[in-house]
Amino acid sequence: VAHKVAVVVFDGLAPFELGIVIEVFGLPRDDLVVPWWYEVAVCAERIRPLAAVGGFTIVPAHGLSEVAHADTVIVPAWPRSLEPVPPKVVAALRAAHTAGARLVSICSGAFVLAATGLLDGRRAATHWRYASALRGLYPAVRVDEKVLYVDDGDILTSAGSAAGLDPCLHIVRCDHGAEVANHLARRLVIAPHRAGDQAQFIERPVVDAHDQRLRQAMDWALSHIAEPITLTEFAHRAFMSPRTLTRRFGEAVREPPIAWLMRQRVDASLPLLENSDLGIEQIARAVGFSTAAGYRKYFRRHLSRSPTGYRQTYRAPGAAGLRGISIMTG
């Protein structure tokens, strides 16, 4: 049984964001060992040629009726952010949500979700360029322009453009586990996982000498993740003083060095929880925590549940019904 993904597009659609969805969910993935995969339907209010940004047209294959049958509905962009969203689209989204579908927006797609009222009182992400407009139009939505995406369980919203990849991979991770998501990421040739709370802003987008040394030290840390690493040693590997490393790290990663490392350790433990029978104690040690208690603590901080709880979620193979594991509520 395929999991149906309906993508809602409009005249003036954004081909890049649409392409992300197709790439992650819409292609056959014979190399992945999964009980089920996704089936994408590109939907629009009316089936007619739609202009895409960049000077070409796309003809959607489906009308809005597909939205009603979808397990997941994705709105990759909304080209006219300040104009009202077509009532039929709003109705279709509301109906899908009531029927239990997971709603996802990328970039300005958040305007469409907000128009349904379902975002009221919830935290939501969008492209930083649209944040103030979204806030102005829908004051009840708690817009957070600083994060890559927000997983609020049944509704996910995400930042702009390339950041659309992150929630999509996150969904794959929730549905199929970290191992599968990592495989897919490798196929797409992108970083395996960026957490939702990672910042949208990278202060130094240009790869300069600092970034190079930082990256080098991070690579080193990741390949020695099982060993105890102190800030001093970390800094040494980056050819900086601890003080400077902390500073550079804050600018580039928006997170202190050791905090980042702890998160990497939790990430590294996920495949072990899923695919091994190692005890929590052993897994903790395998990814560099000195004690299982510390591991549990960091785990809960980032994933809002215990390692054992996480393992049980993915234990039963094909545990498909699970929707929206909330890793970022509150």
Give residues in contact with DNA (CB under 7 A).
210, 230-232, 240-244, 246-248, 250, 256-259, 289-291, 293-294, 297
H-state helical runs in 39-177: 65-68, 87-98, 109-115, 131-137, 165-176
Q: How far is the CB of 193 from DNA (least distance, A)?
A: 20
Considering the complex, what minimum distance in angstroms separates the CB of residue 236 from DNA? Answer: 11
Enter the tokens of residue 185. 């990421």
Nearest approach, Cβ of 235 to DNA (angstroms)?
8
Q: First vs last Cα of the chain: how many Å apart? A: 34
Q: Give the per-residue SS3 of 263-314.
A: HHHHHHHHHHHHHCCCCHHHHHHHCCCCCHHHHHHHHHHHHCCCHHHHHHHH
User: Which one, 156 or 238, has the nearer CB to DNA?
Assistant: 238
Cα–Cα distance for residue pair 260/282, rounded to 1 Å: 21
Using H for helix, E for strand and C for coil, what is the string for 202-270? CCCCCCCHHHHHHHHHHHHHHHCCCCCCCHHHHHHHCCCCHHHHHHHHHHHHCCCHHHHHHHHHHHHHH
What phi and psi values does residue 144 have, to the nearest 5 degrees?
A: -120, 105
For DNA, the closer of residues 48 and 297 by Cβ is 297
Residue 24 parent element (H or E) = helix 15-25
Residue 18 CB, nearest approach to DNA (Å): 38
Query: Minimum distance from CB of 244 to DNA (Å)?
Result: 4
Please identify, using beta-carbon distances, which residue of 69 and 297 lies nearer to DNA.
Answer: 297
Cβ distance 42 to 82 under 8 Å? no
Is residue 197 a contact partner of residue 144, using CB atoms and an 8 Å limit?
A: no
Six token digits for residue 145: 């322009």
Q: Which is nearer to DNA, 294 or 324 (CB)?
A: 294
Tokens of residue 159, six digits:
């930042």
Helix (H) / strand (E) element for 150: namely strand 149-151
User: Is the CB of 39 or the CB of 211 nearer to DNA?
Assistant: 211
Judged by DSSP in three states, 188 sits in helix
Pairing of strands 155-158, 149-151: antiparallel
Q: Which is nearer to DNA, 36 or 201 (CB)?
A: 201
Q: Which is nearer to DNA, 23 or 233 (CB)?
A: 233
Smallest separation (angstroms) from DNA to the CB of 326: 21
Q: In terms of CB distance, is 98 or 290 closer to DNA? A: 290
Shortest Cβ 301–DNA spacing (Å): 7
CB 307 within 8 A of CB 279: no
We find the least distance from the C-beta atom of residue 173 to DNA, in angstroms, to be: 24
